[in-house]
Amino acid sequence: MIQFFQTQENCVREVAVPSPGCWISVVDPTAQEIQQLIETYGLDSGFVRSSLDEEESSRIEREDDQTLIIVDTAMSEIQTEETILFFTMPLGIIITEEYVFTITLKDNRVLHDLANGTVRGVQTRMKTRFVMQLLLRITAFYLMYLKQIDKTSYTMEQRLSGAMKNKELVQMLELEKSLVYFSTSLKANEVTIEKLLRGRTIKLYEEDQELLEDVLIEVRQAIEMSNIYSGILSSMVEAFASVISNNLNIVMWRLTVATIIMAIPTMIFSFYGMNTAGLPLPYTWFPTVLSIAATAVVAFLMLKHKKF
């Protein structure tokens, strides 16, 4: 899908026909749309394919009058009612003399916020500043998702004490994996932004440089948060596994005690049920009384020295 946006009266609006100074948003394009980007707008075919590669790492590349910036964006996906998967997806930004293109395989909230006017002060004709605002919004979503991961892990922690199943443990491992993805992508984005800050690839004005410095600060803050949360979550997963094992041992201990107590009457009645001579008081009432007394004594001793 290809959409055209332009700032009109200080508001980003979708337009039918592109004109110089437009932002062209491309999401999951078809083969025909890819061909249109290459032939109609003269985009480098390698830049377009790199932007649509899920395994592409964050980088900057320049070819003739086109500049490619690939950054990883944070995304979330609901798997079940209680499980949210966090991952990253490359976003290609191609800057030409007339347009700014954003190309990605999956739609994300960053592009929606820019298109809906949620981000203030967006001027599509100011291409460099527009790219800086886009990078700042991408970093802001990293911070937001990191806070969501922290809240989710706290919720999982509340269930930790009584957990005996693998469900909670698997959810914690998924969160830990998401933090690894975030940390790796943020470090790659940091290198890319540092290259932009040098001003060799894109000409930076004073305001743009200040905005890019803010982006770099936010990225480093997100990296630090990701490392802290990852360490906490890793320790929590280990504790989680130990708690599950301990809870299982407690259940097994209780079942063992119940089995021992229930085995006493069975043993006594088994002896008196045999055709064996010489048993004391071979009357019907005696084994009943004996089994009740023996069961009460064993139960008292077990409860007195209980470990659960």
Can you tell me the mean pLDDT for 275-295? 74
Q: Are residues 257 and 195 in the same domain?
A: no
- For 50-105, write each residue's pLDDT tens digit: 888 888 888 888 887 888 889 998 888 776 666 678 888 889 988 888 888 888 88
Q: Are residues 265 and 240 in the same domain?
A: no
Q: Are residues 132 and 280 in the same domain?
A: no
Look at residue 42 and tell me whether its pLDDT is greater than 80.
yes
Lowest mean pLDDT among 27-41, 144-158, 190-204, 233-247: 233-247
Q: Are residues 156 and 298 in the same domain?
A: no
Distance (Å, whole) CA 251 – CA 246: 9
Structural domain ending residue among the three candidates 205, 227, 247: 247
8-17, 163-172, 280-289 — most confident range: 8-17
What is the domain extent for residue 23?
2-247
Greater confidence, 307 or 42? 42
Confidence of residue 276 (pLDDT cuts 50, 70, 90): low
Look at residue 23 and tell me whether its pLDDT is greater than 70.
yes
Confidence of residue 155 (pLDDT cuts 50, 70, 90): confident
- For 103-144, write each residue's pLDDT tens digit: 888 888 888 888 887 777 778 788 888 888 888 888 888 899
Q: Are residues 120 and 62 in the same domain?
A: yes
- Which residues, 6+ apart, have CB-to-CB distance to 57 below 8 Å? 70, 72, 90, 188
> Which amino acid belongs to residue 87?
F
What confidence score (pLDDT) does residue 81 get? 61
pTM confidence score: 0.74
Of 45, 111, 99, the residue nearest 74 (C-alpha): 111
Could you give the residue ranges of the DSSP H alpha helices within the chain? 31-39, 45-51, 109-116, 127-158, 167-197, 206-272, 285-304
CATH for 173: 3.30.460.20
Number of structural domains in the chain: 2
- For 192-209, write each residue's pLDDT tens digit: 888 888 867 777 777 778
Tokens of 249: 């041992």
